[in-house]
Structure 1
Amino acid sequence: MIEHELLLFAAFWFVLGAIDETVIDGIWLALRLTGRTREPRVPRAARTRPLSGRAAVLVPAWNEADVIGHMIAHTLRAWPRREWTLYVGCYANDPATTAAAMAAAADDPRVRIVIHAQSGPTTKADCLNRLYAALCADEARGRFRYASIVLHDAEDMVHPCALATIDEALRDVEFVQLPVRPEPQPASPWVAGHYADEFAEAHAKTLVVRDALGAGLPAAGVGCGFSRETMALLARKRIAQGEDGPFATGSLTEDYELGLQVSHDGARARFVRCRDEAGALIATRAFFPARFDESVRQKTRWIHGIALQGWDRLGWRGGLIDLWMKLRDRRGPLMALVLATAYALLVIEALLALFRLAGWQGHVAVSPVLALMVTVCLVSLIWRMVWRAAFTASEYGLAEGLRSVPRTIVANTIAIIAGRRALFAYVRTLRGAGVAWDKTRHRDHPAAGGSGEGLAREGLAP
């Protein structure tokens, strides 16, 4: 009886999910056939082309001494132009990060290190609001105004053409998002590797479809740019609600919320996929968590912030397309439950198989409808694995594409544990618990070669 009920529950939701994903696949294939997924090439000259206006790049940094220096040094080399400023947010009780940032900045006037008045960690959004306040103060003091604001993290490795690409796109829209490319880590092919599978498909298919449909785009918090006026409007709105700036301090995923909020306010958004003249994707590169527990913690924060807090804070505004995309964004806890049910079924089937070998003859009657649903689930599973392997292989090579198939088990296990933890954490906040900056520890940076080995290895040396 338990086997039958669990099978019915899991099969129903898997079939519903299969229909949802197949529609996305169909739209992407239509875009592909009509040439709308084309990735234009950006010439090398774009690396030094003057921007349309001065840009501010905001980087919050708490406990980032291992990577912030590499990030600053690489960014200054990759973007040699002068009309931009890198704002790095540090804390007085984190002297190691401050020292690393100062050493990398040296005497370059493009770097502005801002020390938060409060002891850290506060929240990422709070640190960003402090940087935004420093930005506004600089504008008032210097009697100028930035044209755009770009967000990055301390572990990011920017592409030399990224700033010019964002600047060009912001001439037509108010918010632009570039892809994120998790870098392979030989020491963690399974945990760190599963991020490559997820982002390769999400940022080459799902967000492309979302952009084409005109739905609100979530900001990834890295490689995203906003027009100055759009950020100012949002800041005024947030301040009227009691915030200190445009970033929501009560949200665990303030970047995701920021992107959707500007779309809700009528701003135009665009997801931009293009490549440099050598064919490398113009994206933000970074090392994602390589340890299982750290990955679970990060995914917990994402599910809690996007699926649970997003329901509370953003509601269900928008047209049918936006509602559809929000349903997709918020399915994390449900899918964790469905996946847990599916794996429980595997355990039950293994136990029943042992009983049958021992002579037990009991069998559960399966209706034709349920049998059809199970068949659809099996076909859908194979279909999904083919798509994931294809997108991963396209960006990382055939070996990684093939490895993405068994890596799905790792991804599902992390999702199940993270979904449970996110639900419990959300219940604690409903009981009055505060929101903390439960950040990921970053130990390595893709450009950590110092003299440029990391860049040369990726063909991205400026």
Structure 2
Amino acid sequence: MVTTALTPVDWLALIQHELLLFASLFFLLGTLDELAIDGLYLIGRVRGRIFTPRIERSATEGRPLAGPVAVIVPAWREEDVIGATIRHLLAAWPQSELRLYVGCYANDPATIAAATLAARGQTRARIVIHSALGPTTKADCMNRLYRAIEEDEQREARRFRMVVIHDAEDMVDPAALPLFDEGLQRAELLQLPVLPAPQRRSRWVAGHYMDEFAEAHGKAMVVRDWLGTGFPSAGVGCAIARERLALLDAEAKGSGPFDADSLTEDYELGLRVSEAGGKAAFVRVRGDDGQLVATRAFFPQKLESAVRQKTRWVCGIALQGWDRMGWSGGLLDGWMRLRDRRGPLAAMVLFVAYLLIVLSGMLMVAQLLGHGRHFTLTPLTEGLLLANAASLLWRAVCRAVFTGREYGVAEGVRAIARIPLGNIIAIMAGRRAVVQYVGSLRGNMLTWDKTEHRGHPSLERGLPA
């Protein structure tokens, strides 16, 4: 019996085929998951259960509130943006019932100076200095702000009705605060959509956030809200009832309502409220001008900064969140948590897919040079490839439609071209998150690996500067 030894090229072809089967199977599972969300979204739209109401902006903006409201903004090395954020927020929300709390650190004099200058002469703004040296964690900074709120309540003999959470670079919508005030009658936690601000200097890196948030907050979060499952807070444009925060603080035995050991306290906040029996609502509303009432935020312009930010998300949600939050809840809640935690696996599958492109190119060159033999695909593999190709086309169309609806046709087209970049960032962040998480298991302390903001985006759609 004569056997033919496999050449290095033959081995390469076999490896390619096995990796192709592996990636195709997992891509198919992801496809079925996304199609289920798409199907529910379409059903909800057809049945009239999912819709976006419209409001009259002139009758909403500046409307008096039902009670005192505290807005908290944690800040660490945000001297470039905090001043513009404070001025814009106080101008957009002129209600006398509002008080802004900005959390700074004693070893960050630049941010303290910028925040103090912007708040000068403003009776509705208070700069709170953390006694700990920064950076700690974002949650720890927010806990310090929560204590400042308690101190003011005791001193002034009054109680805030709700607390609104924002980041140092956010551009708030003038209609958002009245919507929070009204929505608090039906829910304890309210979340507005987030719209990343377009940045001319970063059409690709910053732009890919526009695509992801437009689809996630236009479809996935809407479906979760309709199904009544717990959904994560975005950490910005989020309002929570004051009494619910007090309950969370009591559950933590006075250590603060936000878990200082968590990298993604915003994600956990929404789920913890739902687990405790609190009602959460995703507030998606358009003004009579056609513009979405949303928080417009400044996202990273550079690849390295985007990877760092998404590393925190993946590590906190997919890895640390698995340990901390577990799988409590019903079947639908379990499905949503599985979706939230698929980041590392998705990154690995994407890496394999891009590796396959390289291997396929090498094999094509080898065959052109007369090396190796032609390996035919099995019917199963061919079927998987066709299904995944159709899925890729469908996903690209969905991404373009949701992005185009919020940012215009040109950005909708760019959204398709930005898909590979988003995948590369996901791969890099997934690898870095796993390394960071393993380090934390060995005792390495996780701190606030914050996003750098170099400049503030111009205010769009007529929002006050």
1:240-389 alignment, distance < 5 Å = 244-360=255-371, 362-389=373-400
Per-residue CA distance 1:382-410 (angstroms, 9 max, x = gap)? 01000001101111111111111120110
1:445-456 alignment, distance < 5 Å = 445-447=456-458, 454=459
Aligned to 1:450: none
Q: Structure 2: how far apart are the matches of 1:105 and 1:277?
A: 32
CA contact (8 A) 1:71 1:156 kept: yes
1:293 aligned partner, one-letter code: E
Is 1:460 equivalent to 2:463 in the alignment?
yes
Structure 1 residue 164 displacement after superposition:
0.7
Q: Structure 1: how far apart are the matches of 2:84 and 2:417?
A: 33
Is 1:174 equivalent to 2:188 in the alignment?
yes
Q: Structure 2: how far apart are the matches of 1:334 and 1:158?
A: 35
Aligned to 2:8: none
Structure 1 residue 360 displacement after superposition:
3.2
Q: 1:391 aligns with which of 402, 406, 411?
A: 402
Q: TM-score, normalised by structure 1?
A: 0.96
Per-residue CA distance 1:107-148 (angstroms, 9 max, x = gap)? 211101111111111111110000000101111111110110
Structure 1 residue 361 displacement after superposition:
5.3
Aligned-residue sequence identity (percent) comes to: 57
Count of paired positions: 451
Aligned to 2:423: 412
CA contact (8 A) 2:88 2:464 kept: no
Aligned to 2:34: 21
Per-residue CA distance 1:19-62 (angstroms, 9 max, x = gap)? 00001001111111123332222222211211121111010011
Per-residue CA distance 1:81-132 (angstroms, 9 max, x = gap)? 1001100001111111111111111121110111111111111111000000
Q: Structure 2: how far apart are the matches of 1:446 and 1:404?
A: 20
Q: 2:441 aligns with which of 417, 426, 430?
A: 430
2:302 aligned partner, one-letter code: R
Per-residue CA distance 1:351-371 (angstroms, 9 max, x = gap)? 011011112351224221221
Per-residue CA distance 1:177-221 (angstroms, 9 max, x = gap)? 000000111111110100000000000000000100111010111
Tell me the SS of whatever aligns to 2:252. helix
1:256 aligned partner, one-letter code: Y
Tell me the SS of whatever aligns to 1:434. coil
Aligned to 1:33: 46
Q: 2:100 aligns with which of 86, 108, 119?
A: 86
Q: Structure 1: how far apart are the matches of 2:202 and 2:72?
A: 30
CA contact (8 A) 1:42 1:161 kept: no
Aligned to 1:122: 136
CA contact (8 A) 2:230 2:271 kept: yes
Q: Which runs of 5+ in 2 are unaligned?
A: 1-13
Q: Structure 2: how far apart are the matches of 1:130 and 1:460?
A: 30
CA contact (8 A) 2:173 2:463 kept: yes
Q: 2:238 aligns with which of 215, 224, 229?
A: 224
2:265 aligned partner, one-letter code: E
Q: 1:112 aligns with which of 126, 131, 151?
A: 126
CA contact (8 A) 1:58 1:87 kept: yes
CA contact (8 A) 1:68 1:101 kept: yes
1:33-112 alignment, distance < 5 Å = 33-43=46-56, 44-112=58-126
2:101 aligned partner, one-letter code: Y
CA contact (8 A) 2:99 2:126 kept: yes
Q: Name which one, 1 or 2, has greater alpha-carbon Rg.
A: 2
Aligned to 2:16: 3
CA contact (8 A) 2:199 2:457 kept: no
CA contact (8 A) 1:286 1:445 kept: no
Q: Structure 1: how far apart are the matches of 2:76 and 2:185?
A: 33
CA contact (8 A) 2:50 2:226 kept: no
2:307 aligned partner, one-letter code: V
2:27 aligned partner, one-letter code: F
Q: TM-score, normalised by structure 2?
A: 0.95
Tell me the SS of whatever aligns to 1:63. coil
Q: Structure 2: how far apart are the matches of 1:36 and 1:185?
A: 34
Aligned to 2:219: 205
Q: Structure 2: how far apart are the matches of 1:56 and 1:271?
A: 20
Tell me the SS of whatever aligns to 2:126. strand
Structure 1 residue 266 displacement after superposition:
0.7
